[in-house]
């Protein structure tokens, strides 16, 4: 296969925003509601004569997203009617933004974003095994952001990474859950492959319900186009979907699209001058941003934590938040990073392994966890003992010292105490000492065993061995 083929990919991503109410009416914004048609009113079901009202919270969320992505925020904006006919769009148009999107020219993960605008979500059609089609209007009118990247993405991996980072951003901002499996975030890819600087024939891939699907569908299409180009076949411009079972793209039957949406400004909504709203000022938007995913990532990496561990802490908000709390409780000089790394590793491996799947919060206090790390660091607990204590802590949140004492897991590394033990054991066991000095290595094991027994199992065995050897070699 010719390796000089270049793929050009652009993404169109829709994501539901988290707000109290819907985009243009007072109905609750609850994407988790499972009972159909309960969060509805005449406005979001498109009755004639109803009037939409702009939800400022949704505008605010979108502007925060734009600010976090270093975009150019609009000063003047308006909403437009986008016309098309479909059962899930009762008015015969969707209120969206055409000429004056709220955000232009942003950037995420090195990918240029052309625009981000605000619109209302459509209702949801439910097809009942060919018998009937029903429409659930709970989703109708939920605030939806649409983000369009420039065609600068080169691979499936890059496309999926972009979408993942966007989801993280929404979660950090509290602007949305962006759960792809639940349809809270929907990704479409436009893709073409070409051997030269001219763009190849474009296909559109829709219905990508997971990051894996994004990555695989794009990779699959790049491969397919390259193969067809090799064989001199003509690529058809079409809309495709992803078949998860077969792991291949399939042509989709599309509603007849004229692509003429006959946009015009929504006459029922006033245009907005954003600089007139104090909350939308650059200063206030910046002040409303928390630490962003990439900032947290850089902070952790600068401490020498392994990249893979950092990624777990950055992408699982609950774990990252817990880690930061633990750091505040840890007894550590600021330049000392060993405990930081130890904490990161214990959280992302041992703690995660012991926690219930899908748990909403870490069931132990950061203070107790920090004490545990301190004990392991000071070798009061072996790494095995540390795991046992942690397991007990998860049963009931108690201090690790108390548990270690009760379970007999405390380990002594006190030099003076252990040395005294070593001297005693040597005095009390003259025969094994003689044998060891004569070259019988096994006798050392016996002496270590005696010392451990004397300590009631609390001595650090490695330290004990070192000290015994030292004394015996004197
Ligand atoms: Zn409503």
Q: What's the pLDDT tens digit per position in 386-399?
A: 999 999 999 988 89
Q: What is the spatial distance between Cα 140 and Cα 125, in angstroms, rounded to a whole number? A: 11
Helix runs in 247-399, H state only: 282-287, 293-301, 307-315, 317-329, 338-345, 352-354, 366-377, 383-395
User: Residues of the chain with pLDDT > 70: what percent?
Assistant: 97
For residues 359-375, average pLDDT: 91
- Cα of 153 from ligand 1 centre, angstroms: 38
- Cα of 67 from ligand 1 centre, angstroms: 29
- Cα of 132 from ligand 1 centre, angstroms: 25
Q: What is the spatial distance between Cα 474 and Cα 459, in angstroms, rounded to a whole number? A: 22
- Cα of 39 from ligand 1 centre, angstroms: 7
- Cα of 125 from ligand 1 centre, angstroms: 17
Lowest mean pLDDT among 2-6, 29-33, 341-345: 2-6
Task: Give me the domains of the chain, ranges plus CATH numbers.
Answer: 6-280 (no CATH), 293-406 (no CATH), 415-472 (1.10.10.410)
- Cα of 317 from ligand 1 centre, angstroms: 32
Residue 3 above 70 pLDDT? no
pLDDT band at 26 (very low <50, low <70, confident <90, very high): very high
pLDDT band at 385 (very low <50, low <70, confident <90, very high): confident
Cβ atoms of residues 58 and 23 within 8 Å = yes
- Cα of 46 from ligand 1 centre, angstroms: 9
- Cα of 38 from ligand 1 centre, angstroms: 10
Residue 471 above 90 pLDDT? no
For residues 68-89, average pLDDT: 95
Phi-psi region for residue 299, left (φ > 0), alpha (ψ -120 to 50) or beta?
alpha
- Cα of 146 from ligand 1 centre, angstroms: 21
- Cα of 115 from ligand 1 centre, angstroms: 27
- Cα of 89 from ligand 1 centre, angstroms: 13
Q: Where are the beta strands (DSSP E) in 158-222?
A: 185-194, 203-208
In this structure, the strands spanning 203-208 and 239-243 are parallel
**In terms of pLDDT, which residue wins out, 63 or 427?**
63
- Cα of 287 from ligand 1 centre, angstroms: 32
- Cα of 274 from ligand 1 centre, angstroms: 25
- Within 13 Å of residue 368, how many CA atoms lie on the same side as its CB? 21
- Cα of 48 from ligand 1 centre, angstroms: 13
Cβ atoms of residues 249 and 205 within 8 Å = yes
Question: First and final CA of the chain: distance in angstroms?
Answer: 72
- Cα of 143 from ligand 1 centre, angstroms: 12
Q: What is the spatial distance between Cα 358 and Cα 167, in angstroms, rounded to a whole number? A: 18
Phi, psi (degrees; rounded to nearest 5) at 180: -65, -35
User: Residues of the chain with pLDDT > 90: what percent?
Assistant: 70
In this structure, the strands spanning 239-243 and 76-77 are unpaired
Q: Is 129 helix (H, G, I), strand (E, B) or coil?
A: coil
- Cα of 137 from ligand 1 centre, angstroms: 9
How many residues would you count in the chain? Answer: 474
Q: Work out the angle at residue 338's Cα, subtended by the Cα atoms of residues 335 and 340, and round it to the nearest 5 degrees.
A: 85
pLDDT tens, residue by residue, 260-314: 899 999 999 999 999 999 999 999 999 999 999 999 999 999 999 999 999 999 9
pLDDT of residue 258: 58
- Cα of 45 from ligand 1 centre, angstroms: 7
- Cα of 264 from ligand 1 centre, angstroms: 23
pLDDT tens, residue by residue, 41-64: 999 999 999 999 999 999 999 999
Q: Work out the angle at residue 373's Cα, subtended by the Cα atoms of residues 367 and 377, and round it to the nearest 5 degrees.
A: 145
- Cα of 88 from ligand 1 centre, angstroms: 14
- Cα of 120 from ligand 1 centre, angstroms: 11
- Cα of 44 from ligand 1 centre, angstroms: 4
- Cα of 138 from ligand 1 centre, angstroms: 8
Cβ atoms of residues 460 and 412 within 8 Å = yes
DSSP class of residue 330? S
pTM of the model: 0.87
Q: What is the spatial distance between Cα 430 and Cα 441, in angstroms, rounded to a whole number? A: 15
Structure token pair of residue 341: 């790394």
pLDDT tens, residue by residue, 96-120: 999 999 999 999 999 999 999 999 9
- Cα of 26 from ligand 1 centre, angstroms: 6
Burial class (CB in 10 A: 0-12, 13-18, 19+), 333: exposed
pLDDT band at 2 (very low <50, low <70, confident <90, very high): low
Q: What is the spatial distance between Cα 12 and Cα 186, in angstroms, rounded to a whole number? A: 8
């Amino acid at each position: 296969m010719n390796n000089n083929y270049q793929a050009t990919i652009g993404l169109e991503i829709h994501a539901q925003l988290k707000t109290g109410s819907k985009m243009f009416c007072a109905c609750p914004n609850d994407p988790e509601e499972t009972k159909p048609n309960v969060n509805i009113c005449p406005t979001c079901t498109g009755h004639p004569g109803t009037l939409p009202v702009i939800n400022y919270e949704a505008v605010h969320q979108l502007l925060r997203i734009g600010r976090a992505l270093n975009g150019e925020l609009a000063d003047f904006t308006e909403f437009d009617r986008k016309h098309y006919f479909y059962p899930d769009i009762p008015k015969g148009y969707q209120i969206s933004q055409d000429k004056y999107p709220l955000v232009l020219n942003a950037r995420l993960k090195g990918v240029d974003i052309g625009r981000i605008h605000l619109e209302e979500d459509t209702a949801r059609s439910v097809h009942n095994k060919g018998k009937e089609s029903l429409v659930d209007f709970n989703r109708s009118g939920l605030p939806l952001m649409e983000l369009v990247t420039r065609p600068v993405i080169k691979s499936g991996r890059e496309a999926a990474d972009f979408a993942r980072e966007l989801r993280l951003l929404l979660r950090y901002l509290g602007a949305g859950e962006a759960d792809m499996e639940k349809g809270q975030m929907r990704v479409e890819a436009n893709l073409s492959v070409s051997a030269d600087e001219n763009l190849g024939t474009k296909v559109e891939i829709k219905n990508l319900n997971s990051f894996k699907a994004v990555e695989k569908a794009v990779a699959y299409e790049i491969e397919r186009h390259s193969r067809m180009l090799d064989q001199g076949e003509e690529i058809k411009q079409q809309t495709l979907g992803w078949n998860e079972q077969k792991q291949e793209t399939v042509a989709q039957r599309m509603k007849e699209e004229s692509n003429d949406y006959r946009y015009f400004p929504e006459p029922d909504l006033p245009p907005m001058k954003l600089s007139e709203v104090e909350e939308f000022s650059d200063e206030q938007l910046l002040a409303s941003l928390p630490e962003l995913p990439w900032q947290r990532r850089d902070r952790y990496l600068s401490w020498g934590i392994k990249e893979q561990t950092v990624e777990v802490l950055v992408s699982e908000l609950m774990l990252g938040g817990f880690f930061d709390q633990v750091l505040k409780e840890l007894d550590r000089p600021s330049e000392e990073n060993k405990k930081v790394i130890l904490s990161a590793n214990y959280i992302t491996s041992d703690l995660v392994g012991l926690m219930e799947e899908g748990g909403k919060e870490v069931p132990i206090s950061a203070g107790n966890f920090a004490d545990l790390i301190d004990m392991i660091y000071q070798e009061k607990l072996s790494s095995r003992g540390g795991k046992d204590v942690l397991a007990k802590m998860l049963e009931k949140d108690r201090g690790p010292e108390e548990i270690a004492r009760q379970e007999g897991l405390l380990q002594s590394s006190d030099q003076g105490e252990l040395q005294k033990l070593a001297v005693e054991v040597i005095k009390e066991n003259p025969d094994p000492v003689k044998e060891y000095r004569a070259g019988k290595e096994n006798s050392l094991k016996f002496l270590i065993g005696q010392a451990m027994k004397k300590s009631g199992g609390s001595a650090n065995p490695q330290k004990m061995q070192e000290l015994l050897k030292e004394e015996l070699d004197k």
